[in-house]
Structure 1
């Protein structure tokens, strides 16, 4: 069996759904597109992933010759509805950049170790343009919502590539194309913030997912504009709206799939109120196992929970938000105040007035004053 055949069979054996191989050439089209939209993507371009450098793999790994790209289908089990309206499915699936001690982190590590046993040098921390790599290998194509789609699966997939120093047999049937139904714009119409401003073009600053986890100090800044907060609904980490409405995903979304026993367990006692006033135990057992990717400080989860509770508009949560107004984090107090303003009512007003008299942080005082201004 050839080296290429061994690699592809092993990838399928350990759970990848598709695998392809292309030369480790540069991706000038990606570099040009990202550079042209620098204003929207500066946070990413300047970040640790170094995407412009990685788009020329040999600049980071001079001996690079091939890229092995894989598709993992993370929608093989069902996702509880009580979680899916709040948390993106890819995070529920615990496969996105999973730590090595978890099953979905062990898979790429097993692949890396297998390649090394075959005598390959494997590149490390090369943040490739995964969708373009997989499309050039012919194992995915594109949707107008900017996601990659794999045949017979849909867009609920996770792509992982490995750069190696061996010449391999290359796939020569690229599918760098959009395969959506003609004139379909369901994703663009469904996006509450119009983040997909034209087919295959996304403004990350308008994306709900971006606002749930990349709005942190040291990244895009922790402030979320009030207009955006109202459009986030109850999303606290990620957003699947543009994938949920896509005709190409309906077969999988409507399929009767087995339960994920762990998610069923999590869903039984996961709540926005608990995320708002989070104990260490809740964080470690119900938040961290799913949401380990971007957020490292609890205050950002608490902020997102406050926004979600405000958008629910249910006065039953006023006591929870009142408790959050005593949180040591300014961010949490400020967004709890916004949520109380959204819910409104006499009790919310009384709480805000009492807290305003004692609040010493300017940013929180402004949030309280703005919340009081909208309560009739």
Structure 2
């Protein structure tokens, strides 16, 4: 057997769903497309991982010859109904950029160990455009919702790749859109109109983006502020959003499949609630938040903010006592969004709490959120 065949068989033995190989040449079309998006992607271009440089692997690793691409089906088990619409499926599956001490990270590490053992030098710190690489390696196609699709799986795949210095046998590219002709289901379903054209996304309007990338200190002037019009359309989604995948015809077979339970997720779902997330204990954070949502957010105040938004959108008066507790949180951000949520829920009790807190709050940001909430609050 050739090294190419050995690599592919080992990857499949590890549990990868698809594996393909492409050259390490520049992803010039990707670079052109990214630059054409202008300010919509300035935060991404300025990312410390330097995606534009990663799209030219041989500039970062002159000896690079091949990119080995992997797709893993993360919807092999079912997702609890109580977590759907709150936490994206890919995060529930604990597979996206998983650390090496977790099973999905260990799979990637075992693959790298195999390659080194077989004489390959591996590129380090090269941020490959995964969707473009996977399509060029022939294991995925594109969807109008900007996701990658693998045959027989749909878009519920997590992609990864490894750059090596060995010339391997390359697969035929599948750089194509395989959506049904005339289908615009994803565009119509997006609550914020983030998908404004087929294959065109304004990330700053994306629910997932607003849930986890709006943090202080990020590139291109991003802050923790989420515009009120976006908050109201986030629903109860605190980490990720699957709407454009859920409505896609290409995903219906997978979504309707009878899948085995994920026993760990069942345990998480039994303990998880938005109120617990809002006023979380250290134990809740370490056992129920971090195992699923370790990807983009390291500071718990952003999780609490998202929980406050979700409770406000849920609109249940039973959440008012928890939001009142959050108004005493040491984090200004949490207090601000708790105030917004109280205003969204409305009622005389919420109004009284907001009025009382307006007097004792010393933060100008919190006072502004209380003022805005009181201005719009409905009392019954």
Q: Pick the TM interval, shorter chain.
A: over 0.9
The aligned runs of 1:103-252 (5 Å cut-off) are 103-171=103-171, 173-219=172-218, 220-252=222-254
Whole-angstrom distance in 2 between the partners of 1:4 and 1:168? 6
Whole-angstrom CA distance in 2 between matches of 1:129 and 1:213: 20
**Cα shift readout 1:55-113 (whole Å, capped 9, x = no counterpart):** 10011111100010011110100011111110000000000000110000001100000
CA shift at 1:38, angstroms?
Answer: 2.8
Q: Which residue of 2 aligns with 1:253?
A: 255
User: Which runs of 5 or more residues in structure 2 are unaligned?
Assistant: none
In 2, the alpha carbon distance for the partners of 1:110 and 1:253 equals 30
1:306 alignment partner in structure 2: 308
> In the alignment, what sits opposite 2:27?
27
1:56 aligns with 2:56: yes
* Cα-to-partner distance string for 1:125-156 (whole Å, 9 max, x where unaligned): 21111111111111100110000000000000
Moved >3 Å (runs of 4+) = none
Note the alpha carbon deviations across 1:15-58, whole angstroms, 9 max, x for none. Answer: 10111111100011111111111301111111122110011001
Partner of 1:297: 299
Q: 1:294: how far off?
A: 0.3
Q: Do 1:154 and 1:249's aligned partners in 2 also have CA atoms closer than 8 Å?
A: yes
Q: Which residue of 2 aligns with 1:356?
A: 358
Q: Take 2:4 and 2:138, find their aligned partners in 1: how far apart are those partners?
A: 16
Contact 1:38 1:45 in 2 (8 A): no
Matched residue SS, 1:82: coil
Cα offsets for 1:154-181 (capped at 9, x unmatched): 000011110000011111x211111011
Once the two structures are superposed, the pairs formed by residues 321-336 of structure 1 within 5 Å of their partners are 321-336=323-338
> 1:178 and 1:193 mapped to 2: Cα distance?
23
* 2:12 alignment partner in structure 1: 12
**Correspondence 1:80 to 2:84:** no
CA distance in 2, matches of 1:264, 1:235: 19
Q: Distance in 2 between matches of 1:236 and 1:120?
A: 41
Q: Which runs of 5+ in 1 are unaligned?
A: none
Which whole-Å CA distance do the structure 1 matches of 2:213 and 2:131 have between them? 21
CA distance in 1, matches of 2:377, 2:312: 13
Work out the number of aligned pairs and report it: 375
Partner Cα separation in structure 1 for residue 376 and residue 167 of structure 2: 65
